[in-house]
Amino acid sequence: MHNIEDRERVRREVVILAEDDNTQTLHDSELNEGADEEFYEDEDSEEKEGEQKSMPWLIITTGKILTEGSLPYHHYFIAIAFMCFFSIFLTFMSLNADREYRQREKYASVLHERVILREEQRYELSSKSAVTSRLKSHGIELIELSKNSRIIEK
């Protein structure tokens, strides 16, 4: 009988220890769940604070166009708006560059015409008839050399 009583006592102690382990495990899991909930609540509150901090920026950049459902996509809206602004900027810059190019082209054609006029004036002053008339006005006679009197032949 002693043996049966010992077995019974050991069995009760094992059951008590198992129940204590289960209660301890339950208590630990409840603490962990409580800590996890606090952690997620902290994250949620940080996200809400971050959204509230970004709200003025969101209102400024979108002008309250966005609804609550489209808030995750406001980055895309901002990117599209930036691309539109950039394309308009490039268009105006290319128009301005084209205007400047046309002005410089016109200025170059004016300079070319002036060069041609100067060359014509220089030719008029240095032509044979102009040179002979100037020499005659100073009393100098122009003598042409004969073809045989040249030292260097062609």
The residue range of the domain holding 33 is 1-64
To the nearest whole number, what is the mean pLDDT of the chain? 77
pLDDT for residue 43 is more than 70? no
Tell me, what DSSP letter sits at residue 139?
T
- Quick check: 78 and 61 in contact, CB under 8 A? yes
- Tell me which of 64, 86, 109 is where a domain ends: 64
Is the pTM for the entire model greater than 0.85? no
Q: What is the predicted pLDDT for the residue at 53?
A: 58
Token pair 């509150």 is found at 45
Same domain, residue pair 16 and 44: yes
Same domain, residue pair 73 and 50: no
- Quick check: 142 and 135 in contact, CB under 8 A? yes
- Residue 75: name the closest of 62, 85, 65 by CA: 62
Same domain, residue pair 87 and 154: yes
